[in-house]
C-alpha cells in the first residue's frame, strides 16, 4: 500500500515543495517502480526486503538511506530475537522527498501520518521536522520495554533469596537476558547511525544544532539502561547458581553426616551381631552352654567389645 502523506503542489505550486510517501508491504514490482521514480540504488532496495537487517546509514549520491528498528508492542512475551521484538522501517531521504518503507504498518508511522497529513503547504524544513519526530519516537519506543525489564528485576531478586519458583525464574531470566541483549545491540546500532549522519540532503541538516545531539543522548541513555539490565540479569543468574550450589552442598553435607552416624552405629553392632549369630546356631556342643553364668558372661563380653570400639573411635577422633 502506497500512501502520499505530503504531496508536492498540494497548494497549487510545485516549486520548493516536498513530499512524503509511506509504503506498507510493497510487492517487488512496486519497489521496482518506486526505485525508478526516485532514483534509488538497487542494493538499497534489496536491503528493504531483508527483515533481519540491523540499523544502518549510507549515502549514495544525493539520497540518504537509513534503516531504523522500532520496538514492536505486539511482540509476544517469549519474544527474544531482533525480528520478534522489533520492526524494520527503511527511510530514503532526498532533497525534496521522504520515502518510508515497512512490511507492516506501525503505530509510530500512523501517528506521524495523522500529524503531518493535514499540512497543506509542505516546505523543505518539514522533512527535517518529520525525521526528528520519527527518530525521536523510534528511540523512545524502547523506553517502556526497558522500564518493564527493570521492574521484573526486582521480582527476580525476591525470588532468588526466597528460593521459590526456581525453574520459572531461570526461564524468565533467560528471556529477560535475551530481550535486554536485543535492546542493547539495536540501540548501539542506532547510536552508530546517528553518529554517521554528517548532513542530510536539503537546505537543513539534522546534524546541525542540538536536535541530533538530543537524539544521541536519549539513545545513549536507553542503551546504558539496557546494558545495566543485561549485567544485572547476568549477576542474578550467577547469584542464583551460587545459592543453588550452596544449598546442594549443605544437603550433601547433611547426608554425609547422617551416613557417618549410621556407619558408626553399624560398626558398633557388627561384632555384637557376629557373637549373637554364633550362639544362635543351635549346635548340640556349644562352649559354655551348661554353665550357670554363661549368659551374663557373654553379655559382659559383648559390652567389653562395644566399649573397646568406643575407646578406639574416640582416640582416633572419629566421634567428634
Per-residue model confidence (pLDDT) at position 70: 92
| 221-225, 235-239, 270-274: which is most confident | 221-225
Closest C-alpha among 125, 106, 127, 104 to residue 21: 127
Q: pLDDT band at residue 12, thresholds of 50, 70 and 90?
A: very low
Closest C-alpha among 212, 200, 204, 208 to residue 93: 200
pLDDT, one tens digit per residue, over 79-89 is: 888 888 999 99
Cell 566399649 belongs to 307
Q: What is the mean pLDDT of residues 180-189?
A: 92
Q: What is the DSSP string of the chain?
A: -EEEEE-TTTTS--TT--EEEEEES--HHHHHHHHHHHT--HHHHHHHT-TTPPPEEEEETTEEEEEEEEE-TT--TT--SHHHHEEEEEEEE-SSEEEEEESS--HHHHHHHHHHTT-SS--HHHHHHHHHHHHHHHHHTTHHHHHHHHHHHHHHHHHHHHT-SHHHHHHHHHHHHHHHHHHHHHHHHHHHHHHH----SSSS-TTSSHHHHHHHHHHHHHHHHHHHHHHHHHHHHHHHHHHHHHHHHHHHHHHHHHHHHHHHHHHHHHHHHHHHHHHTS--SS-TTTT-TTHHHHHHHHHHHHHHHHHHHHHHHTTT-
pLDDT, one tens digit per residue, over 282-314 is: 666 666 667 777 778 878 888 888 888 888 878
Q: What is the mean pLDDT of residues 65-76?
A: 88
Q: pLDDT band at residue 13, thresholds of 50, 70 and 90?
A: very low
Given a cut of 90, is residue 224 above it in pLDDT? yes
Q: What is the mean pLDDT of residues 11-16?
A: 50
Q: Does domain 2-247 have CATH number 3.30.460.20?
A: yes
Per-residue model confidence (pLDDT) at position 309: 82
Per-residue model confidence (pLDDT) at position 238: 78
Q: What is the mean pLDDT of residues 183-200?
A: 83
Per-residue model confidence (pLDDT) at position 220: 92
> What percentage of the chain reaches a pLDDT higher than 90?
10
Q: pLDDT band at residue 221, thresholds of 50, 70 and 90?
A: very high
Q: For the chain, what is the mean pLDDT?
A: 79
> What percentage of the chain reaches a pLDDT higher than 70?
82
Give me the residue spans of the domains in the chain. Answer: 2-247, 254-316
Q: Which CATH number applies to 254-316? A: 1.20.58
Per-residue model confidence (pLDDT) at position 142: 92
Where is pLDDT greater, at 139 or 105?
Answer: 139
The pTM of this model reads 0.69
Given a cut of 90, is residue 247 above it in pLDDT? no
The answer to whether 66 and 138 are in contact (CB under 8 A) is no
pLDDT, one tens digit per residue, over 138-177 is: 999 999 999 988 888 877 777 776 665 555 667 777 888 8
Amino acid at each position: 500500500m502506497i500512501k502520499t502523506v505530503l504531496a508536492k503542489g498540494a497548494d497549487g505550486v510545485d516549486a520548493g515543495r516536498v513530499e512524503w510517501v509511506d509504503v506498507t508491504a510493497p510487492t517487488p514490482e512496486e519497489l521496482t517502480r518506486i526505485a525508478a521514480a526516485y532514483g534509488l540504488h538497487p542494493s538499497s532496495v534489496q536491503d528493504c526486503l531483508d527483515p533481519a537487517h540491523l540499523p544502518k546509514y549510507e549515502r549514495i549520491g544525493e539520497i540518504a538511506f537509513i534503516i531504523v528498528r522500532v520496538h514492536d508492542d505486539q511482540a509476544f512475551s517469549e519474544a527474544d530475537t531482533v525480528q520478534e521484538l522489533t520492526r524494520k522501517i527503511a527511510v530514503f531521504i532526498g532533497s525534496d522527498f521522504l520515502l518510508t518503507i515497512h512490511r507492516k504498518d506501525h503505530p509510530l508511522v500512523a501517528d506521524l501520518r495523522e500529524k503531518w497529513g493535514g499540512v497543506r503547504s509542505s516546505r523543505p524544513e518539514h522533512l527535517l521536522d518529520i525525521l526528528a519526530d520519527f527518530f525521536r519516537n523510534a528511540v523512545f519506543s524502547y523506553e517502556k520495554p526497558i522500564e518493564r525489564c527493570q521492574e521484573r528485576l526486582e521480582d527476580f531478586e525476591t525470588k532468588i533469596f526466597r528460593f521459590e519458583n526456581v525453574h520459572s525464574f531461570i526461564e524468565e531470566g533467560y528471556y529477560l537476558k535475551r530481550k535486554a541483549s536485543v535492546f542493547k545491540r539495536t540501540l548501539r546500532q542506532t547510536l552508530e547511525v546517528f553518529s554517521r549522519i554528517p548532513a542530510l540532503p536539503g537546505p537543513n541538516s539534522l546534524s546541525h544544532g542540538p536536535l541530533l545531539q538530543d537524539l544521541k543522548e536519549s539513545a545513549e541513555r536507553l542503551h546504558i539502561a539496557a546494558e545495566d539490565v543485561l549485567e544485572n540479569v547476568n549477576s542474578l543468574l550467577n547469584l542464583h547458581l551460587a545459592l543453588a550450589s550452596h544449598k546442594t552442598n549443605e544437603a550433601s553435607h547433611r547426608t554425609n553426616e547422617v551416613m557417618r552416624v549410621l556407619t558408626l552405629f553399624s560398626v558398633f553392632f557388627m561384632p555384637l551381631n557376629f557373637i549373637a549369630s554364633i550362639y544362635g546356631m543351635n549346635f548340640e556342643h556349644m562352649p559354655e552352654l551348661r554353665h550357670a553364668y554363661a549368659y551374663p558372661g557373654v553379655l559382659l563380653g559383648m559390652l567389653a567389645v562395644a566399649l573397646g570400639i568406643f575407646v578406639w573411635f574416640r582416640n582416633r577422633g572419629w566421634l567428634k
